Structure 1
Amino acid sequence: MFRGEYKHTIDAKGRLIIPSKFRELLGEKFILTKGLDGCLYIYPMDEWEAFEEKLRALPLTNKNARTFSRFFVAGATDCELDKQGRILVPQTLREFAGLDKDVVLTGNLSRIEVWSKEKWSENCNYDDMDDVAASMQDMGIVI
């Protein structure tokens, strides 16, 4: 499982260092794609394949299912680490996530999230965490 928060930079060529603790879990090949809330997701290949199977099972007659599948699959790209432990983030994905220089990589159980420093600060304001935690009770999560 992926855990933790790491701050890195993305260079002018779009190369991003993946933290060494994450590299061990990713394997040789993995998937980078658009994520929710304006970040990017990195999936190990086995997690991505399981996600693809779920997408494949969605009904083509459902517009939301088509849109949901298209969002994740159209932006997906195969990745491999270079010798310095970096990946190349395609320009379209950098633009989508607003990645310019300062980047935050966070572990989120089965995937890694890649955030611009600004979006991470905006989306991870925990001022209303008590309300969020209370709503989790409806989903079976009790602290």
Structure 2
Amino acid sequence: MLMGEYHHNIDQKGRMIIPAKFRELLGDSFVVTRGLDQCLFGYPLDEWQALENKLKTLPFTKKDARAFTRFFFSGAAECEVDKQGRVNIVPPLRDYAQLEKECVIIGVSNRFEIWSKENWETYFAKSEESFAEIAESLIDFDL
């Protein structure tokens, strides 16, 4: 399981250290793509394959299904970890998530997310106020 919050910098070449605890679970390569809320989603290859299989079942005749799969797959890039534990985040993904220097990497169960520090702090501050309400709405899921 991927969990925790880590702070790392991304250099001008787009290289960023992936937390060692994540690298143990991710292996030598994994997939990063555009996520929701202007962050990036990262998946171990087996989780990416499972997600791909689920998305293949969406009806291509539905406009929203086509739009989402285009958004999700067109931004995907396989990343390989170098000897220093870094990966290169390609420019279109860096631009989408506004990654310039300080980044926050968070574990979210079967995936991880990469945020610009500024976007993460803004998101967290706004969401923190409604966490109790969100928890109440999820009570139906036996959490």
* TM, length-normalised to structure 1: 0.96
Write out the 4+ residue segments of structure 1 that deviate beyond 2 Å after TM superposition. none
Match of 1:101 in 2: 101
Aligned pairs for 1:131-142 within 5 A: 131-138=133-140, 140-142=141-143
Q: Give the C-alpha shift of residue 141 in structure 1.
A: 3.5
2:130 paired residue among 117, 122, 128 = 128
- Residue 47 (structure 2) pairs with residue 52 (structure 1): no
What is the distance in 2 between the residues matched to 1:105 and 1:36? 14
> What is the CA deviation profile of residues 22-62 of structure 1, one whole-angstrom value per residue up to 9, with x for unaligned ones?
00000122101000111001100000000000111111100
Match of 2:89 in 1: 89
Helix, strand or coil at the partner of 2:31: strand
Match of 1:73 in 2: 73
Match of 1:117 in 2: 117
> What is the CA deviation profile of residues 104-133 of structure 1, one whole-angstrom value per residue up to 9, with x for unaligned ones?
000000001000001101111212211111
What is the distance in 2 between the residues matched to 1:128 and 1:92? 32
What is the distance in 2 between the residues matched to 1:35 and 1:100? 17
Deviates more, 1:76-85 or 1:122-131: 122-131
Q: Identity of counterpart residues, as a percentage?
A: 51
Q: Which runs of no fewer than 5 residues in structure 2 stay unpaired?
A: none
Helix, strand or coil at the partner of 1:61: coil
Helix, strand or coil at the partner of 1:66: helix
Which residue type is aligned with residue 128 of structure 1?
Answer: S
- Residue 17 (structure 2) pairs with residue 27 (structure 1): no
What is the distance in 1 between the residues matched to 2:97 and 2:142? 30
* TM, length-normalised to structure 2: 0.96
Helix, strand or coil at the partner of 2:79: strand
Deviates more, 1:76-85 or 1:121-130: 121-130
Q: Give the C-alpha shift of residue 3 in structure 1.
A: 0.5
